[in-house]
Amino acid sequence: MHSLDPAAHLTRVRATTPLVHNITNHVAMNPMANVLLALGASPAMVHAREEAAEFAALAGALTLNIGTLSPHWLDAMDDAARAATAAGTPWVLDPVAVGATRFRREAGDRLLALAPSVIRGNASEILALAERTGGGRGVDSTAAPEGAEAAAASLARRSGAVVAVTGERDLVTDGTRLARVAGGHPLMPRVTALGCSLSGVVGAFLAGAEDPFAATVAALASYAVAGEQAGEAARGPGSFAVAFLDALHALDATTLTEHARLELTDAP
């Protein structure tokens, strides 16, 4: 068993069916809900400003995603983040394409100031949020997590959040510890919103977790193992998307322990 024990976190998710409140983008809405259901969580996509704060206080975790943002949604996100923090509910920020436009940069800064528990993005997004470099190609990354280690660690220290950077090999840091998570499959970035959906899965693992760093590593490890297994069955992006839901649903604690490829070290 690994010292981070991802299997214990997966077992908790399955036993508790956490309610995950998501204010996500139009593209991710359906795939993300399906991924969360396949995992064994209970997703709810609730956006209206009139109810976002009230709902966030009921949920086990909240996730905010700026992928297809509008001013009204951003206000709802702000309300939801404040309500989550007041209720002690962990929340995840997914800063989609945060380097691309001024609106996204300002939204990223505004949500970052509300103290997310975890920030999960691709390498270009984390570089843009942390140090205004690494613009990416719209929502896609043009950088690798290896090049974002120092930026992720300093963002974690500055914000108090756990920072997860995904790509071929993911990394997770709380500014002190750094974990690398290998696995997944090259077809994963060929299916839209799998990263957005992963941010939802991180939310599910945060609900009721004592150590958000270990919970985030467990979420990414579960995704990596399911992705690897789906890749064996897939013939392309279409069949991969279906196989991935099936693999996540079938994933059990023993398989996760056997197949998770984790490295734990000190943050730079």
Which residues here bind ligand TZE, judged by CB under 6 A?
25, 27-28, 67-68, 96, 139, 192-193, 196
Q: Would you say 67 or 145 has its CB closer to ligand TZE?
A: 67
CB 194 within 8 Å of CB 39: no
**Residue 105 in marked binding region:** no
- One of 134, 195, 200, 227 touching Mg ion (CB under 5 A): 195
Nearest Cα to Cα of residue 183 among 146, 229, 149: 229
Contacts of 110-116 with CB under 8 Å at 24 or more apart are: 110/74, 110/78, 111/64, 111/66, 111/77, 111/78, 111/81, 112/159, 114/78, 114/81, 114/82, 114/85, 115/85, 115/159, 115/160, 115/161, 116/64, 116/81, 116/91, 116/92, 116/159, 116/161
- Choose between 5 and 168: whose C-beta lies nearer to ligand ATP: 168
- 3-state SS assignment for residue 9: helix
Neighbours of 265 (CB within 10 A): 12
What is the size of the binding site for Mg ion (CB under 5 A)? Answer: 2
Give the other-Cβ count within 10 Å of 48's Cβ: 11
User: At 141, phi and psi to the nearest 5?
Assistant: -85, 145
Nearer to ligand TZE, 129 or 139 (CB): 139
Cα distance between residue 222 and residue 5, in whole Å: 11
Q: From the centroid of its chain, how far is CA 259?
A: 20
C-alpha to C-alpha distances, 229 to 32, 159, 251, 256, 259, nearest whole angstrom: 19, 35, 9, 11, 10
Least distance (Å) between residue 123 CB and ligand TZE: 14
**Minimal distance, residue 106 CB to ligand ATP, in Å:** 20
Q: Shortest gap between Cβ of 73 and ligand ATP (angstroms)? A: 17
Q: How far is the CB of 95 from Mg ion (least distance, A)?
A: 8
Considering CB distances under 5 to 8 angstroms, the limit depending on partner class, which of ligand TZE, Mg ion, ligand ATP, none binds residue 177? none
Cα radius of gyration (the chain): 16
Q: Binds 68, which of Mg ion, ligand ATP, ligand TZE, none (CB < 5 to 8 A, cut-off by type)?
A: ligand TZE
Residue 166 touches ligand ATP, criterion: CB under 6 A: yes
- Of the residues 24, 42, 89, 122, which one makes contact with ligand ATP according to CB under 6 A: 122
Say if residues 130 and 154 touch (Cβ distance below 8 Å): yes
User: Is 120 annotated to bind ligand?
Assistant: yes
- Beta carbon of residue 185, minimum distance to ligand ATP (angstroms, whole number): 5
Q: Residue 81, interface with ligand ATP (CB under 6 A)? A: no
**Minimum Å distance from CB 30 to ligand ATP?**
13
Binding site listing for substrate:
45, 193
Binding site listing for ATP:
120, 166
Binding site for ligand ATP (CB under 6 A): 96, 121-122, 139, 141, 166-168, 170, 184-186, 188-189, 192-196, 198, 223-224, 227
Binding site for Mg ion (CB under 5 A): 96, 195
